[in-house]
Structure 1
Amino acid sequence: MRKYHAWCFDLDGTVYRGEEPIPETVSFIQKLREQGAGVFFVTNNSALTPESQAEKLAKMGIEADPDEIMTSSVATAAHLLKVHGSVKVMMIGEEGLRKALETAGHTVVRQHPQAVVVGIDRSITYGKLADASLAVSAGASFIATNSDKAYPTEQGLVPGNGAFAGLIELATGVSPYYIGKPSVPMLEALAERHGLDRKDMVMVGDNYETDITAGIRFGIDTIHVDTGVTRTEDLAHYGEQPTYALKTLGDWKVN
């Protein structure tokens, strides 16, 4: 097993399930910190700000600086600014997305947007979906923070942002531009921010279709853990395999 200098962890299903930490991952990250390894978090969860994510991790015994956390909301706001400049945005989402958009200089509006951005929204309504669909049909750019169809909680899998974005796509015939994993903008942004070399990086995650695929596309090693969405026995259905496949991170010996 290789020694890596930059460990990039998914959160939901890898570090925790809902509010429940995964003990083997928590212990593993603590050992990495003790050894001075770089620890980063790359999450498709758009609901929380990096600061809120850091607070959540701290309650689970994991030290994390907000600068070490790359969320799909932050990456989405940066992408919009880079491609379109400051724009008027109609958003479906929660506080993490709103703050990221406003911090980047965008204006959140309810009517006549230049872009529609869809993130996870646990207060989703038919009205929000209808307004977003009408705006996309009228020509607004359509961007989704991530494509996860479901995400793991303590009770099991529940609908993710990909399910919401898919409804708008079905209604309008317009496909969204996805920012989060399995696309690579978040890993690219993280590497640029911290000056990371790809050969020193490894992506750790539970979901083959998002976490592992993002790592493969970015050209770094990957570790699949059987603690969330994709079961170990299902990996055989995919073409390119993760570099390592573990039951939990308790099976990895920290050098």
Structure 2
Amino acid sequence: MTRPIAGWLSDMDGVLVHENQALPGAAEFIRALRDHGRPFLILTNNSIYTPRDLRARLSATGLDVPEDAIWTSALATAQFLTDQEPGGSAYVIGEAGLTTALDEAGYTLTAAEPDFVVLGETRTYSFEAITQAIRLIQGGARFIATNPDVTGPSADGDLPATGAVAAMITAATRREPYFVGKPNPMMIRSALNRIDAHSETTVMVGDRMDTDVVSGIEAGLRTFLVLTGSTRREDIARFPFRPSEIVDSIADLVDRVGTPA
């Protein structure tokens, strides 16, 4: 028997927004979640921005999402490191979203014998910083990365992202990073803990089979795939797993929020 849906996790890009525009049904979906008091989090692998930044960006598209309802790979990474080694130290390559999350988690950001090298997203990867990271990892620092995405979008085309830079560091050090963000189900489980939700009564909504859907499945959630992002219906057959349901867009899920089933 399928249990009623009590909580919702949703990806951001391709589900709620696309190229700084809200997708049809997104505002109604967020409004329904808030009106019905459903626990929810909006997830993103992007570690550049703080939840405050992302709230402002979503607000500019007409989506009213509270700051505490946004869960980034940077926050998940900070939570993971706190669980592993409370009050530790890290050498960080990343932007404010990551450095702020680690600082607020009580981590010391340093290049002097850090416990971890933490690699996140940035638009200005520095050769000097990457070289420093390589030497620190060779010296014994543990290697963590926020997410495995190898490219990120820009107006001019793809940009190298965390996964691509991690591969370069791995080639130099022969050390593989531990990726915290999707498709690692760790990201989903940390989100569940954040809203005190249970996997059996929470669903994951996403537009990518290889990150959103697989991480939801591996964390024990029902999964909804929307077709407004990077996955087309004909792509689904290529994967050895399936979402629980396929819908055209987030608009098709608005009524499900008020009458969970």
Provide the TM-score with structure 2 as the length reference. 0.88
What residue is the counterpart of 1:42 in the other structure? 43
Residues 1:14 and 1:178: Cα distance change in structure 2 (over 3 Å): same
Residues 1:136 and 1:56: Cα distance change in structure 2 (over 3 Å): same
Residues 1:73 and 1:26: Cα distance change in structure 2 (over 3 Å): same
What residue is the counterpart of 1:93 in the other structure? 94
Question: Is 1:189 the counterpart of 2:190 in the alignment?
Answer: yes
What residue is the counterpart of 1:53 in the other structure? 54
How many residue pairs match? The answer is 255
CA displacement, residues 141-182 of structure 1 (integer Å, 9 cap, x when unaligned): 000011122345566654332122122112211110111111
Q: CA deviation at 1:84?
A: 1.9
Cα distance in 2 for residues equivalent to 1:23 and 1:92: 36
What residue is the counterpart of 1:233 in the other structure? 234
What residue is the counterpart of 1:126 in the other structure? 127
Moved more, 186-195 or 76-85: 186-195
* 1:223/1:244 contact within 8 Å kept: yes
What residue is the counterpart of 2:113 in the other structure? 112
CA RMSD of aligned residues (A): 2.2
* 1:151/1:229 contact within 8 Å kept: no
Amino acid aligned to 1:146: N
Q: CA deviation at 1:66?
A: 2.2
1:192-203 map, 5 Å: 192-203=193-204
Moved more, 219-228 or 22-31: 22-31
Cα distance in 1 for residues equivalent to 2:233 and 2:151: 18
Q: CA deviation at 1:227?
A: 2.6
Residues 1:182 and 1:169: Cα distance change in structure 2 (over 3 Å): same
Cα distance in 2 for residues equivalent to 1:66 and 1:206: 22
Cα distance in 2 for residues equivalent to 1:153 and 1:11: 16
CA displacement, residues 185-242 of structure 1 (integer Å, 9 cap, x when unaligned): 2322222232212222111111211111110001011111223333332111111101
Question: Is 1:168 the counterpart of 2:169 in the alignment?
Answer: yes
* 1:72/1:186 contact within 8 Å kept: yes
Secondary structure (helix, strand or coil) at the match of 1:233 reads helix
Amino acid aligned to 1:207: R
Cα distance in 2 for residues equivalent to 1:247 and 1:153: 25
Cα distance in 1 for residues equivalent to 2:233 and 2:34: 27
- Structure with larger RCO (C-alpha < 8 A, sep 6+): 2
* 1:205/1:224 contact within 8 Å kept: yes
* 2:91/2:109 contact within 8 Å kept: yes
Q: CA deviation at 1:18?
A: 4.2
Cα distance in 2 for residues equivalent to 1:137 and 1:204: 39
Q: Which runs of 5+ in 1 are unaligned?
A: none
Secondary structure (helix, strand or coil) at the match of 1:224 reads strand
Secondary structure (helix, strand or coil) at the match of 1:133 reads helix
What residue is the counterpart of 1:82 in the other structure? 83
Q: Percent identity?
A: 35
Q: Which runs of 5+ in 2 are unaligned?
A: 257-261
* 2:32/2:254 contact within 8 Å kept: no
What residue is the counterpart of 1:23 in the other structure? 24
What residue is the counterpart of 1:62 in the other structure? 63
Secondary structure (helix, strand or coil) at the match of 1:254 reads helix
Provide the TM-score with structure 1 as the length reference. 0.90
* 2:206/2:226 contact within 8 Å kept: yes
What residue is the counterpart of 2:259 in the other structure? none
